[in-house]
Amino acid sequence: MPKIFRLPFARERLRFSLLLFRVTSYDGYSHEKLVVDFVGHLGRSKMTDELPIADVPSGFFEYHADFKEPVFFPWFGKDAPTGGMYKTLMPWGLELNRVAFNTNPKTLQDIQTSFSTTNPPVVVNLGLGSLAFIVQNADWSQAPVLIPMLEAVLTHVKAAIPTEVHLQTTVLGFHVKPGPKPFRETMQQFINAKALGADGTENYGLVLYGPTYTILIDRSLAIPDGLFVKITRVFPAETLISEMASIMWKDEEEFLHRLGFRTQ
């Protein structure tokens, strides 16, 4: 999201909400321990205030909810999920010309209705087996709007479908401009290039797989000499949106710190 990980006026509000939740990964380890275990190589050699502020010009956020069973019943109508979704999203700038339906699906999984709001710009895809909430070019300052919006969408879906949400997944991705220290030098602390016989490599990428998360750190294709970070997390069905938001903010803050930056 451009400036996805900057929090101007809303920063303190979100920081306060972080204090309400114990940030714990769902494989039983504290989130702080998880981060330190995998990227502790970088250490904390500088006080946070001495680090440069991260320049994060672009990124995205996705939320996905998988249903326990496919939803097989009339898709349109007064009590259908799509009709209720339209009413739910109207306060955020939804009109009929911003609702689309896949008229030529190859499989049942391809059947979905897409709702595109304008304020803020969000795409909500409602399918037979899942729900997706996609935000491009968003900003953490929009969190006070995006969180209740997603909560309203999820509340409607849970009430409208004759099944339950089985699993929730969040995807947080962002590009970071290089700072005083080249990213190649930073990434060398993760990878033993000499052992791989790759001393002359221009840059490095890294993927970490856990039971409930995947972390990708790679060379940015959008920003010269920049890095791209993508963090995917899987949450139980009962996890609240506010809890997921606090964990995502902690992810962003910690990883930028490990890369040698601070958020503000």
Domains in the chain: boundaries: 11-100+107-208+235-258
More confident residue, 204 or 87: 87
pTM summary value: 0.78
pLDDT (tens digit per residue) in 147-188? 999 999 999 999 988 889 999 999 999 999 988 888 888 787
Considering only CA atoms, which of 154, 149, 158 is closest in space to residue 68? 158
Write the DSSP assignment of 176-191 as a string of letters: E---SS-HHHHHTTT-
Q: What percent of the chain has pLDDT over 90?
A: 44
Sheet arrangement for strand 206-209: 99-101, 112-118, 121-127, 130-136, 58-67, 165-176, 227-236, 213-219, 206-209
Q: Tell which phi-psi region holds residue 260, choosing left (phi > 0), alpha (psi between -120 and 50) or beta.
A: left
**What residue ranges in 45-139 does DSSP mark as E strands?**
58-67, 99-101, 112-118, 121-127, 130-136
Grade residue 8 by pLDDT with cuts at 50, 70 and 90.
very low
